[in-house]
Amino acid sequence: MNEKSVTQNTTYLTLSYIGQKILAFIYFVVVARMIGVEDLGKYTFALGFTTMFAVFVDLGLSQALIRESAKYRDKISKYVSSIITVKFITAAMVYLIVIALVNIMDYPAVTKQLVYLSGLIMAIDSFTLTFWGVFRGSRNLKYESISVVINQVIILAVGFTVLYLKLPLYFLMFPFLLGSLFSLCFSLVSIKRVLKIKFTIKWDKQVLKFLFGVSIPFALIAIFSRIYGYIDTVMLSKIVGDAAVGLYNVAMKIPFALQFIPAALAAAIFPAFSYQFVHDQAQLKHTFDRVMKFLVIIVLPISFGIAFLSRQIILAFYGQEYIASAMPLMILMAGLFFVFVNFPLGSLLNGCNKHITNTKLVGTTMVLNIILNIFLIPKYSFVGAASAFLISHSFLFLMSMIVAAKIIPYKKRNLLKYFVKSFIAAAVMAVVIYALRDMIHFVPLIFISAIIYFIILFLLRGITWADAKYFKETLLKSKVKS
């Protein structure tokens, strides 16, 4: 079989996500400044509302496709044909449900228009997800990475045109619609020309029975994750109002943008975990330890730094109108640590035959998140929603670590040591930020604090030259059999 570098794939997707997230963040800042808090609330609600329902179109089939196409290359055409056929049905049904719900909930006409267009984007993206799923199963993320960046460039170009012409609010969905259409066409052409996969519209009962048997846990995980990831926006919209949604999503945009780091890594290590679980348990433990250490070292300075600079960042990017977003941003950055480390934990559980257990954990987390939001949002508004985010993700982390211990005998003391040393270095860095944040602009202060963090970490031997060499050579060059 061919060999693929886990990190080569991670690098492709990480670089594309960096470009995409930078462009997306710039675009969001411009949109927020130009349309104001109230309209931003309507706009982000529409995107969040339809994103929450997107999982009902896919039903976990794309994740099942990734896993099974990696095992059975000769069956990919049958899998894709059946999945595409099902999605024509689920996309139409879910779109009609979304339209019905937004009307039943009696939202204003402009919000409904935004949701109608966002629903079309939801349906298109689901088909694209299937095509890229085949590439992920083949451990080829290069073409998806190219598509991610071009998609965002289209959004930026068309979006700025809409803003410049001062068109009605619902026109801000057209940049996403055009970007999604490009991604669909590009993925469709790529799967045929690069991977030489041919497929047709075909309802194959046996194939679908098998795929749904595999996909149900993945579907439930996706449904639970989406609900507890976006229900806060919906609840804020109905309980508090559009302004609260706008302020909350401004705060949420920063930690959301940073998720490309663990997301790209998780996309690459998921098939690697699956392979190593069967063929090389020692390498599985080694990979898990290294990935967790890497993410802890990266996320803690980011969390501390942005939390302590939250006010300056909000003012610089969004202006005084959004200053109330600083407090939820601080809370969300505390939760970012758990978001980062939950990515590889989820990949470990899903790739090592604990996907049903992972489904139960994510489902329990969803219920906890909804309950917390019910109690916290009416009293604390978007600050309550941010607090629910922090508590929910920390709960998922603790439960996932318990289950992970049953898969591989990772050394708890080592992980705790990584965390404590990184935490101390980040705390020292935070003290410097606190002392200098009113005297130095936050941009150079970020670079200064990053240097301080890594110096302290090296002094504490939280990271050694051997680790640095590993991340440079092993992660960049080592091969994992597919």
Neighbours of 406 (CB within 10 A): 11
pLDDT greater at residue 330 or residue 350: 330
SS3 of residue 481 by DSSP: strand
Asked if 314 contacts 294 with a C-beta cutoff of 8 angstroms, the reply is no
H helix or E strand, kind and range, residue 4: strand 3-4
Least confident span in 134-138, 193-197, 463-467: 463-467
- At 76 the pLDDT is 78
pLDDT greater at residue 47 or residue 17: 47
The residues, any chain, with a CB within 8 Å of residue 57's CB and separated by 6 or more, are 87, 90, 91, 94, 122, 123, 126
pLDDT-derived band at 405 (thresholds 50, 70, 90) equals: confident
- At 476 the pLDDT is 46
Q: How far is CA 273 from CA 244, 286, 350, 426, in A?
A: 41, 11, 9, 30
Residue 12 has pLDDT above 80, yes or no: no
Dihedral sign for Cα 467, 469, 473, 476, please.
positive
- At 301 the pLDDT is 93
Distance CA 198, CA 76 (A): 9
Residue 264 has pLDDT above 50, yes or no: yes
Neighbours of 184 (CB within 10 A): 18
Residue 477 has pLDDT above 60, yes or no: no
Residue 481 has pLDDT above 50, yes or no: no
- DSSP classification of residue 173: G
Q: What's the residue count for the chain?
A: 482
- At 479 the pLDDT is 39
Distance CA 284, CA 31 (A): 44
Q: What is the tens place of the pLDDT at every residue in 85-132?
A: 999 999 999 999 999 999 998 889 999 999 999 999 999 999 998 888
- At residue 194's C-alpha, the angle toward residues 268 and 137, to 5°, is 30
pLDDT greater at residue 428 or residue 412: 428
Asked if 239 contacts 375 with a C-beta cutoff of 8 angstroms, the reply is no
Distance CA 141, CA 10 (A): 8
Dihedral sign for Cα 155, 335, 442, 464, please.
negative
Q: How far is CA 392 from CA 108, 151, 332, 338, 403, in A?
A: 31, 32, 11, 9, 17
Residue 348 amino acid letter: L
Asked if 225 contacts 367 with a C-beta cutoff of 8 angstroms, the reply is no
Residue 8 has pLDDT above 60, yes or no: no
Residue 5 amino acid letter: S
- At 343 the pLDDT is 87
Q: Which residues pair with 3 in a beta bridge?
A: 481
Give the pLDDT mean for 366-383.
93
- DSSP states along 296-335: HHHHHHHHHHHHHTHHHHHHHHT-GGGGGGHHHHHHHHHH
Neighbours of 378 (CB within 10 A): 12
pLDDT greater at residue 303 or residue 214: 303
Query: What percent of the chain clears pLDDT 90, i.e. is strictly above it?
Result: 42
pLDDT-derived band at 190 (thresholds 50, 70, 90) equals: confident
pLDDT-derived band at 244 (thresholds 50, 70, 90) equals: very high
Residue 480 has pLDDT above 60, yes or no: no
